[in-house]
Amino acid sequence: MSFKPRIKILIADDVVELRSNVRRMLSGSEAFQIVGEANDGEETLKLARELSPYIILMDINMPKLDGLKVTEMLSKERPDIQVIIMSIQGEQEYLRRAMKAGAKDFLTKPFSGTELSETIQNVFNSWIKDRPEYLQEANRAQVLTFFATKGGVGKTTLATNLAVSLAKRGKKTLLIDGSLQFGDVGITLNLTPKKNLYHIVEKDDLTISTIERNITKHSSGLDLILAPHEPALAEAIKPNHIKLIIDALVTTYQFIIIDTPPKIAEMELAFLDKTDFVMLLATLEISSLKNTKICLKTFSDISFDTAKIKLILNKDIPNVGISPKDIEEGLQIPMYAVVPMDSETAQKALNTGEPFVGKFPASSLARAVEDIATKLLPNDAPPKQPDGKSSTMLKIKDLLFGT
Ligand SMILES: Nc1ncnc2c1ncn2[C@@H]1O[C@H](COP(=O)(O)OP(=O)(O)OP(=O)(O)O)[C@@H](O)[C@H]1O
Ligand SMILES: [Mg+2]
């Protein structure tokens, strides 16, 4: 079984009813995925840049910027996005101008569901015909697996907070709890695993709808596939399920982050097989370093591409006899990031079920995770850094001085 990537569509029309009609007409088919709706021309441009749809269904008369202007701007800036104009009878002159501006086809309102889906499919097919590589590369999520062969080094903590940080920056992000027996991503984010990986595979009908039905949403905008609610159910999940699920979702998301248990077996190899980067975690303990070294040796034995490894030192603390530099030299790979030890922040966040990137944004821990997110997004402007004062301090200052 394999999944065809779905055609990502943005609907741009200032009439809400038209947008919901289009959504309804396309909802029956797994070939399409509506990634967003825009109410005016400026919003269309903004969402086109952020969401990279393959197709925009574009109304002509929209507030702020009209559909013709947006089509013209996008055909220069984003020739990879195909515009289909939706117009009413009698707009023939506009239509001619729209095609000149770069639109690929048009639909005259009111149109049927069949007309709509055929037009989209035709425009998409003729564009993709000469670019088979496009779906494989340009619009694939970056898959990052947090990995370590020692327990308790902070895989779940960093995977969860990084995923929330990316989601808060507007990146479409999915976090998969690959710690199938004792996954604690759910508890870390105060979510109950009512829908989880087990429900995706239990009936042996692995479709995109089954997967999507079992995705849990977090208030930050992050999507999650949680681990089964009982350890015994993990048995039902096979490495091939994991590969199929990632294949099915890889063109839907910008980032897929995977949390793993501290071992290398068949399941972890399935995750690694689909991974672009392994976030390999170590701490400043001799046992962690020994295990990291063994892990690197295993990677080399299975010919895993070492360029995919990003070494992260977690729980960094000065004066313990080993420094980050010693680790780099000992393991002979460059350090990608260093995250400081900050037990108070880590525990408080964990115990309240709120990620520290949201609850304690000024903490050194949150800043270190935000730095990792910024590194992963070299073309984005970094978010505004909060000042170093804690929110409690600010509240006290507010109270005393009214500042
Ligand atoms: N940078 C840090 N500073 C202080 N404490 C931390 C830091 N990172 C993680 N912790 C704490 O370390 C403990 C273990 O973290 P976590 O559960 O994320 O590790 P793990 O690698 O996922 O463990 P497992 O292998 O059991 O899944 C938690 O109590 C967490 O709050
Ligand atoms: Mg964990």
How many Å apart are CA 278 and CA 146, to the nearest integer? 6
Among 39-43, 68-72, 203-207, whose mean pLDDT is lowest? Answer: 203-207
Instruction: Give the H or E element holding residue 339.
Output: strand 335-340
Judge whether 337 and 375 are in contact, CB under 8 Å: yes
- DSSP code per residue over 179-232: -TTT--HHHHTT---SSBHHHHHTTS---HHHHHHTPEE-TTS-EEEBPPSSGG
By C-alpha distance, which of 224, 165, 172 is closest to 200? Answer: 224
User: What are the CA-CA distances from residue 54 to residues 32, 57, 138, 321 (Å)?
Assistant: 10, 10, 11, 53
Nearest 5°: phi and psi at 44?
A: -60, -45
Nearest CA to ligand 1 atom 16: 154
Residue 78 has pLDDT above 70, yes or no: yes
C-alpha of residue 192 to centroid of ligand 1, in Å: 20
Nearest CA to ligand 1 atom 31: 346
Question: What residues contact 328, with CB distance under 8 A and at least 6 apart?
Answer: 311, 334, 335
C-alpha of residue 282 to centroid of ligand 1, in Å: 11
Residue 395 has pLDDT above 60, yes or no: no
Q: Which atom of ligand 1 is nearest to the CA of 259?
A: 22
For residue 110, the tally of other CB atoms under 10 A from its CB is 11
List pLDDT tens digits, range 312-333. 999 999 988 888 888 888 898 9
Mean pLDDT of all residues in 283-305: 91
C-alpha of residue 315 to centroid of ligand 1, in Å: 9
Nearest CA to ligand 1 atom 3: 341
Nearest CA to ligand 1 atom 29: 347
- From the CA of 185, the nearest ligand is 2
> Per-residue confidence at 239, pLDDT binned at 50, 70, 90?
very high
Question: What residues contact 286, with CB distance under 8 A and at least 6 apart?
Answer: 322
- From the CA of 263, the nearest ligand is 1
C-alpha of residue 42 to centroid of ligand 1, in Å: 43
- From the CA of 154, the nearest ligand is 1
Q: Which atom of ligand 1 is nearest to the CA of 347?
A: 31
> Per-residue confidence at 384, pLDDT binned at 50, 70, 90?
low
Domains and CATH numbers, the chain: 7-134 (3.40.50.2300), 142-393 (3.40.50.300)
How many Å apart are CA 27 and CA 13, to the nearest integer? 18
Judge whether 84 and 55 are in contact, CB under 8 Å: yes
Q: How many CA atoms lie within 13 A of 136 on its CB side?
A: 3
At 208 the pLDDT is 86
Which residues contact ligand 1 via a Cβ below 6 A?
148, 151-157, 179, 261-262, 314-315, 339, 341-343, 346-347, 350, 365
Q: Which atom of ligand 1 is nearest to the CA of 365?
A: 1
List pLDDT tens digits, range 153-188. 999 999 999 999 999 999 999 999 999 999 999 999
Judge whether 124 and 142 are in contact, CB under 8 Å: no
Q: Which atom of ligand 1 is nearest to the CA of 182?
A: 27
Q: Which atom of ligand 1 is nearest to the CA of 150?
A: 25
Nearest CA to ligand 1 atom 15: 154
C-alpha of residue 347 to centroid of ligand 1, in Å: 9
How many Å apart are CA 353 and CA 373, to the nearest integer? 21
C-alpha of residue 185 to centroid of ligand 2, in Å: 7
List pLDDT tens digits, range 185-225. 999 999 987 899 999 999 877 888 899 999 999 999 999 99
Q: Is 12 or 137 the better-scoring residue by pLDDT?
A: 12
Q: Which atom of ligand 1 is nearest to the CA of 160?
A: 18
C-alpha of residue 403 to centroid of ligand 1, in Å: 37
At 4 the pLDDT is 64
Query: Is the model's pTM score more than 0.95?
Result: no
Residue 397 has pLDDT above 70, yes or no: no
C-alpha of residue 254 to centroid of ligand 1, in Å: 26
Residue 394 has pLDDT above 80, yes or no: no
